[in-house]
Structure 1
Amino acid sequence: MCPAVAMAAVETGEASKNSSEPAAGYEKKCIFCRIVNNEMGTELLHSDEEISCFRDIKPGAPHHYLVVPTKHVGNGKSLSKEHVPLVNRLVDIGKEILQKNNVTDLSDVRFGFHWPPFCSVTHLHLHVLAPASQMGFMSRLIFRLNSYWFVTADQLIEIISSKGDTN
């Protein structure tokens, strides 16, 4: 870039857009941050400033989506009471994606999070699997309810809502 163009870019604020500095909330080593920033060629089924959604590369059910915060947020253990609205929004977007894909029986859907240390990616991500009744043996094990490694969205909300309580 020639000096005159570089100076104009600084004056107009364009320089920060082209710099190699990552945006706030972006972890360059995080695969999900790279996906939501369109660096991986993955189709985004939903994307806004707060939430993004894409298909799981190893689907455990006919419909298997990952709903993630667009900005990097750690795993379930890193959340606090302030994150309850975020978790609820992840679930809401998951339901919207299912409806767009003609999945209407929400009683046969599994919404949940892997619990550390059983997370392959530390970027918070909600698994949306449907129909749960069509999950294979390994998927039933990996996404097993009431296990040490997988919690439902409701369980996560209960866990983070009680953080800091002295009971």
Structure 2
Amino acid sequence: MSADCLFCKIVAGEIPATVVHEGERTLAFRDIGPQASTHVLVVPREHHEDALALATDAPGLLDDLVTAAGEVAKSEGITESGYRLVFNTGPDAGRTVFHAHLHVLGGEQLGLFGRV
């Protein structure tokens, strides 16, 4: 845990959040500034600064985040219509909380994102 980390404080129950899924190593809660009808953040319970640190330091935990994101999508009823999983890494990506977190976005038609 990091004493000054917003998401660590949410995990510890010091700051309220609308929790939608709990796992042994993960916690998922609604984003307070949603960018889609469904916008949930999935975070590891332990502190890792970003996705790269998470993958390097605890690769199995990265799997747990993606699995939890799938459970969130299922419980939110967006598995059939589709959803997007996003990690923002670094200031140019718009990241403001330096605790690895995976965005689950869906529930509506999302704009095109890059080229496939």
Aligned to 2:99: 123
Change (3 A) 1:80 1:110: closer
1:88 aligns with one of 43, 60, 63 = 63
Change (3 A) 1:43 1:37: same
- CA–CA distance in structure 2, aligned partners of residues 76 and 84 of structure 1: 10
- CA–CA distance in structure 2, aligned partners of residues 98 and 52 of structure 1: 14
- CA–CA distance in structure 2, aligned partners of residues 62 and 41 of structure 1: 21
Larger Rg: 1
Residues 64, 127 of structure 1: 8 Å contact kept: yes
Identity of aligned residues (%): 32
Decide which structure has greater helix share.
Answer: 1
- Length-normalised TM-score, structure 2: 0.82
Aligned to 1:133: 109
Change (3 A) 1:45 1:103: same
- Greater shift after overlay, 108-117 or 75-84? 75-84
Q: CA RMSD in A?
A: 2.2
Q: Relative contact order, CA 8 A, sep 6+: which one is greater?
A: 2
Aligned to 1:37: 12
Secondary structure of the residue aligned to 1:99 is helix
Matched, 1:112 2:86: yes
- Length-normalised TM-score, structure 1: 0.59
1:97 aligns with one of 50, 64, 72 = 72
Change (3 A) 1:71 1:82: closer
- CA–CA distance in structure 2, aligned partners of residues 55 and 76 of structure 1: 19
Decide which structure has greater strand share.
Answer: 2
Aligned to 2:30: 55
Mind listing any 5+ residue stretches in structure 1 that lack a counterpart? Answer: 1-25, 147-167
